[in-house]
Structure 1
Amino acid sequence: MPLLVVGISVLILLFLMTKLRLNGFAALLLVAVGVALVQGIPTAKIPEVLAGGIGDQIGDTMLTIGLGAMVGRVMGDSGAAQRIADKLLGAFGPRWVQVAMVVTAMLIGVTMFYEVAFVIIVPIAFTIVRVTGKNLLWVGLPMSIALSTMHSFLPPHPGPVAVAATFHASVGLTLFYGLFIAVPAGALIALLWPRLPFVKAMNPSIPEGLVSDRVFEEEEMPGMGWSLSVALFPVVLIAGAAVTDMAVAGSGPLLNFVLFIGSAPIALLLTLLLAIWAFGPRIGRSLSEVSASCSSAARAMAMILLVIGAGGAFKQVLVEGGISDYIKDLTHGWPISPIILAWLIAVILRVALGSATVAVVTASGVVLPLLSGSGVQPELMVLAVSCGSIAFSHVNDPGFWMFKEYFNLSVIDAIKARTTYTTVLAVIGLGGVLALEGIVGSV
């Protein structure tokens, strides 16, 4: 049974990493090969599948994470990150630092991918932790939860947009409805989760090389205008491109240019160039100093990228093994509400495959025939599938490894923190969709 294979492979992976202390990159590849053999993938094809999974995952994330890490380190070494952190602490106070992180993450995360927004905001979170001495998860976890909610629930993020296209739903109306679920659900879990005893018991340290250890004096830091401008520059480019793409029909040279500079890799590359000048020669730092900051960030990211890539290989083996087709056949004809069925299929696929995008696309295809004649608004079906796709993030999800490595957690602690919050968000999201159905369905 394919789902049994998934469950056993996850248990073996946990054993290799927790009991035998095997490196995450090696453990993921080893388990991926084992699953490929059990699922009947030809041995000659296995290296190709592994390489394809790693390539797809690294291709999506290396430029984003690498450039984002360099921007963050340049800002950290110049004092710009501390300037923004000090401003947030001054505006909200140390007592309300979590609210500051949630507000920042939600504003930035509405239009930006989780990974992009994460690497932009996390240097500020690291700096706040270093300055205040607070627990890393106390500051960083609310940020991650808020970003996860925005990314998974709302367009213009790729999952919801893909499902909206399948269901012929209005992207604007989906975003409007989704905000009523995502904002309160994300804020509630973001502020609650760090207070839970099993999370408070964790006290990870900041990974080496991702943030400056120096504490700057007031006169040594760049001005707030420049610091905030550089931090928000990629947000403006990416958000502007997303809004333009939704608002402008057709195509043309101007639209293509806007979409080009608004793509995450190009926006972050332009931001890095701006940061190099703004926090280098402009304030008297040599280019060699700025280059050293970039090199330090790249070295710190090497193992993180390897582990994320191996997570992509594991995910690809599960896809090639036909597990998504098995789940489609298994759930065909289940006599339950289309909203609940859409959510449930997305959850099962997310657990089995790890990829939220594969989960939402497959789930939408399964439930599409049920939409006609059901009386359910297509926008609500989009939200049901999107909410289900965030559930049970675990070891076959490359995003899980990014979370684990950045917050310097063990595999078990990452499961305790991330797998639980993503699952609760998915359940609350389903409840929100059902509540909205009762409201908009009666209007």
Structure 2
Amino acid sequence: MFEMIWPLITVVIGIVVLLSLIIFLKLNTFISLIITSIITAILLGMPLEKIIDTVETGMGSTLGHIALIFGLGAILGKLLSDGGGATRIADTLIQKFGHKHVQWAMLIAAFIVGIALFFEVGLVLLIPLVFTIAKRANISQLKLGLPMVVALSVTHGFLPPHPGPVVIAKELQANLGHVLLYGIIIAIPVTIIAGPLFNKIAQKITPTAYEREGDISALGAQRTFTDSEMPGFGISLLTAISPVILMLLSTVVQLVTGHESATNGFESFIYFIGTAGTAMLIAVLFAMFTMGVKQGRKNADIMDSVSSAIYPIGMMILIIGGGGTFKQVLIDGGVGDTIAKLFEGTEMSPILLAWIVAAVLRIALGSSTVAAISSTGIVLPLLQSSDVNVALVVLAIGAGSVILSHVNDAGFWMFKEYFGLTVKETFLTWSLLETIISVSGLVFILILSIFV
């Protein structure tokens, strides 16, 4: 019996070790993940000479697919930001909706921008705008900011080309186009529930939070654009969602024809441009023109945006790779097989189990991306004997990986400091909205599973 549960005990020990290294010893997350992976492998009884091979395999297999998409995604976001496209999208929507519905305008703007920009980048870009609009409209900064962070968090957890959904889809061999299509269907109602609807409830739960004055001085001087310096709304919107359009086009053709692989030249072309890597590359080249050349920017200036987009994500790429090593150790060490045996014959939905695993790891580890990647190593063996829609399992892991952000998550502290909240107020706003995103996401995924 002890031998049966030892792999599970090892996972718990590994998580405790990881938390101790990061929280108490203040060790870098990437280094902590590698150390934890090696210790976990030893505890699982893996041969010492095989451990580093497993670490390298995990790192290589994870980054081999995501590095291209992650890098191109960062470049697209930076071009959209530096070219004024993101600001144009937000400004136009706020003007169209008016002060009365300004939070809906910010929600939609953040959702569109969030497709192209990673969470932290979108937050840094949009928060100054939130503060400016809030002051102009004489409303609470948090009332406007909460829907904004909801939209960014939902796109981060559910939609490619964000790293979490892309890595999970790759590890579980899910069709990325299907993940994107189902993700959008689920993301829209989840964003509305956790954004404007929860905003009304939060104002009653913690009214003091909506009276706070935030501080964004740490962000430094923010670039402002004149109207003539920004591209048009239509071209900005098209640039932001161009990779989504290409990937969805490929998915729609697959669904209409029923052909997973191309049977003629037309399908070959559509599937080629709809592949995540190709779609992102086309979007970046398009953005270089619309956000650069068309705006009269010099080539050197455009290339500066490209270069500066890559530097900040270097450590994030390593952390994702580190999560991949931990995942590989769990697979090679037999943890996934152990869980598969424990749940053999169970009636529990693989979707629900995937969500639970990701949620537990998220609460323990803090990082949604690391929690998502680690979950795949546990969930993968369960899918071998199941006919569940794998794209929905990907989304379930994504939903679980955003639950209950608290003190071990950088996003918790960013939200607290930017909006000037107390720890209690941050729990009652940020932590609660992340949990609502996670739980409502699971509910809509289970509903969708009835039909697909």
Output the TM-score relative to the length of structure 2: 0.70
Corresponding residue for 1:312? 324
Partner in structure 1 of residue 420 of structure 2 = none
In the TM superposition, what whole-angstrom CA distance separates every residue of 1:314-347 from its partner, at most 9, and x where no partner exists? 111112111111011112234xxx3x44344334
Q: CA deviation at 1:141?
A: 2.8
User: Which residue of the partner structure matches residue 345 of structure 1?
Assistant: 353
> Do the aligned partners of residues 206 and 78 (structure 1) sit closer, same or farther apart at CA in structure 2, a change above 3 Å counting?
farther
Instruction: Decide whether the 8 Å contact of 1:122 with 1:140 is kept in 2.
Output: no
What is aligned with 1:73? Answer: 78
Matched residue, 1:228: 237
Of residues 193, 199, 203, the one that matches 1:188 is: 193
- Measure how far apart 1:100 and its partner are: 4.0
Distance 1:434 1:128 in 2: 32
Report if the CA contact (8 A) 2:33-2:326 is conserved.
yes
Deviation at 1:296, TM superposition (A): 0.8
Query: Which moves more between the two structures, 39-48 or 274-283?
Result: 274-283
**1:146 CA displacement:** 2.9
Structure 1 residues 206 and 247, CA gap change in structure 2 (3 angstroms): farther
1:113 matched to which residue of 2?
none
Aligned to 1:286: 298
Q: 1:295 to 1:387 in 2, by over 3 A?
A: closer
Letter paired with 2:22: M
2:28 counterpart letter in structure 1: N
1:158 and 1:320, CA in 2 relative to 1: closer, same or farther beyond 3 A?
Answer: closer
* Pair 1:87 & 2:99 matched: no
Q: Counterparts of 1:160 and 1:98 in 2: how far apart (Å)?
A: 32
Q: CA deviation at 1:6?
A: 1.4
User: Corresponding residue for 2:21?
Assistant: 16
Of 119, 128, 131, which aligns to 2:129? 131
From the superposition, tell whether residues 219 and 105 of structure 1 become closer, same or farther in structure 2 (CA, over 3 Å): closer
CA distance in 1, matches of 2:289, 2:46: 51
CA separation in 2, counterparts of 1:204 and 1:50? 41
| Gap regions ≥5 residues in structure 2 | 1-5, 132-140, 362-370, 417-422
For 1:44, give the aligned amino acid.
E
Alignment counterpart, residue 298 of structure 1, candidates 300, 303, 310:
310
The residue matched to 1:45 in structure 2 has which SS? helix
Matched residue type, 1:269: L
After the TM superposition, which residues 144-163 of structure 1 pair with which residues of structure 2 at under 5 Å, given as runs? 144-147=152-155, 150-151=158-159
Question: CA offset at residue 289 of structure 1?
Answer: 0.7
Task: Describe the SS at the equivalent of 1:41.
Answer: coil
1:242 partner amino acid: T
- Structure 1 CA distance, aligned partners of 2:171 and 2:242? 27
The unaligned stretches of length 5 or more in structure 1 are 110-115, 369-377
Structure 2 contact 187–441 (Cα < 8 Å) conserved:
yes
Q: CA deviation at 1:151?
A: 4.6
Letter of the structure 2 residue corresponding to residue 389 of structure 1: I
Structure 1 residue 306 displacement after superposition? 1.3
- State the distance in 1 between where 2:50 and 2:188 align: 44
Q: Distance in 2 between matches of 1:405 and 1:225?
A: 31
Q: 1:142 to 1:101 in 2, by over 3 A?
A: farther
The match for 1:328 is: 340
1:42 and 1:60 map into 2 onto residues whose CA distance is 28
Q: Which amino acid aligns with 2:252?
A: V
Does the CA-based 8 Å contact 2:54-2:329 persist in structure 1?
yes
Letter of the 2:401 partner, please give it. S
1:373 is matched with none
Q: Secondary structure at the match of 2:401?
A: coil
- The alignment status of 1:393 with 2:390, answered yes or no, reads no
Deviation at 1:102, TM superposition (A): 4.8
Percent sequence identity is: 29
1:49 paired residue number:
54
Q: 1:363 aligns with which of 370, 377, 382?
A: 382
The match for 2:227 is 218
The question of whether the paired residues in 2 share the 8 Å contact of 1:85 and 1:124 is answered with: no
Partner residue, 1:6: 11
Q: CA offsets, 1:132-168, max 9 Å, x none?
A: 325697355312443367559xxx99979999999xx
CA, structure 1 residues 9+329, in 2 after alignment: closer, same or farther (shift >3 Å)? same
Pick which of 359-368 and 13-22 moved more: 359-368
8 A Cα contact 2:123 2:152, kept in partner: no
Q: CA deviation at 1:279?
A: 2.7
Per-residue CA deviation, residues 350-382 of structure 1 (Å, 9 max, x unaligned), is 4577445556654344555xxxxxxxxx77x98
- Inter-partner Cα distance in structure 2 for 1:236 and 1:391: 23
Matched-pair contact (CA < 8 Å) for 1:74–1:279? yes
C-alpha deviation, 1:32, in angstroms: 0.9
Question: Using the alignment, how far apart are the partners of 2:355 and 2:402 within structure 1?
Answer: 12
Mean Cα deviation higher: 76-85 or 138-147: 138-147
2:338 alignment partner AA: Y
| Alpha-carbon displacement from aligned partner over 1:15-44 (angstroms, at most 9, x marks no partner) | 211222111111111111111111112222
Q: 1:315 to 1:190 in 2, by over 3 A?
A: farther
Q: What's the offset of the Cα at 1:241?
A: 1.1
Determine whether 1:142 maps to 2:140. no
Q: 1:360 to 1:6 in 2, by over 3 A?
A: closer
The answer to whether the 8 Å contact 2:247/2:275 transfers is yes
In structure 2, the residue matched to 1:375 is none
The 3 A distance-change label for structure 1 pair 326 and 244 is: same
Alignment of 1:400-411 (within 5 A): 404=410
Alpha carbons of structure 1 residues 225 and 394: separation in structure 2 relative to 1, 3 Å: closer
Q: Which residue of 1 aligns with 2:278?
A: 266
Judged with a 3 Å threshold, the aligned counterparts in structure 2 of structure 1 residues 29 and 85 are, in CA distance, closer, same or farther, namely same
Question: SS state of the match for residue 44, structure 1?
Answer: helix
The answer to whether residue 31 in structure 2 is matched with residue 26 in structure 1 is yes
